[in-house]
Amino acid sequence: MKNNIALCFFTSTKGHYDIRSRFKETVVNINLQVPIRDFCCAVAHIKITPGEQDIADDMQKTLESYGFQVEKTTADWRHADQSHQSEYLKDIKRIFNLKEVQACEYALFQEDDITIHPRKHDLRYYLYKSTSILKNNTDVISVRIPRASNERERINKLKQKHGIFSKTADSDEKELYFFASDFSNNPHLIRPRDMRNALILMERHPQSFMQHSEMGLGPAIKYFSYSDMPIAIFNPDQIVGRHIGVIDEQREDPNKEYYSD
């Protein structure tokens, strides 16, 4: 039986450090836990670097074999500069404007280099809890899977260490998740209409929001909540995401604790 979640997957022909197989590892990680075809819809976007159409074609075949609808755009962009952010926002807008995505109640936002590792329950449980949190807390905009083992401490120290306003608070299910002001595109669930509305807001008021997938989208998304802590974050002892978009020697071990500043 299909769930009520759209799986929105973002990848590119560039890969990571010239490793082009990470996207498949991420897809396999999800599919082994919740079959891709069980999602309300599954849409993947491939950003194609000019001259890499053959790579995109192979990626498309792989993604379609798992049940993804594939969207593609071509652009010349670079990691770690504004071209990446500008093009990424276009990709997000394209996917969240699709009628198939908007027809679903919720969306799992998934990049191609972070795998999901439940610790106490299976992934279906955490997806269900995410949709329950969003349904029962109208001022919660996003439910995130953390990466740092000290995620709450990290968020509380952002203002002190980096001058970024941030704070957290207990939830009614404090053993499961907490509230925070910190938005991230680490795997998270969101209402498709909220993401689309945030993108529209950014486009209509470019002077008010950074054109950035997190530093712009975060404030825009939070605009649609009365709460100053509209992000729910699972406790890391429940479930974590692990970064695999690196060389093999630097991969994050899902069984290891990771602490972040």
Beta strand pairing call for 69-74 and 41-48: parallel
Q: How many structural domains does the chain have?
A: 1
Tens of pLDDT, residue by residue over 212-252, are 888 889 999 999 999 999 999 999 999 999 999 788 878 89
**Is 206 domain-assigned?**
yes
**Is 254 domain-assigned?**
no
CATH label of the domain that carries residue 150: 3.90.550.10
**Is 134 domain-assigned?**
yes
**Is 253 domain-assigned?**
no
**Is 257 domain-assigned?**
no
Distance set, CA 215 to CA 56, 194, 208, 211, 212 (Å): 29, 16, 11, 8, 5
Show the domain range for 80.
5-248
**Is 173 domain-assigned?**
yes
Average pLDDT, the chain: 93
**Is 255 domain-assigned?**
no
pLDDT score at 151:
94
pTM of the model: 0.95
Divide the 261 residues of the chain into consecutive groups of 10 and give the mean pLDDT of each group: 95 86 96 98 96 96 98 83 81 97 98 96 98 97 96 87 82 97 95 97 92 89 96 97 86 88 70
Tens of pLDDT, residue by residue over 84-119, are 788 889 999 999 999 999 999 999 999 999 999 999
Which residues touch 120 (CB under 8 Å, ≥6 apart)?
Answer: 237, 238, 239
Distance set, CA 43 to CA 34, 75, 96, 200 (Å): 15, 19, 10, 20
**Is 258 domain-assigned?**
no
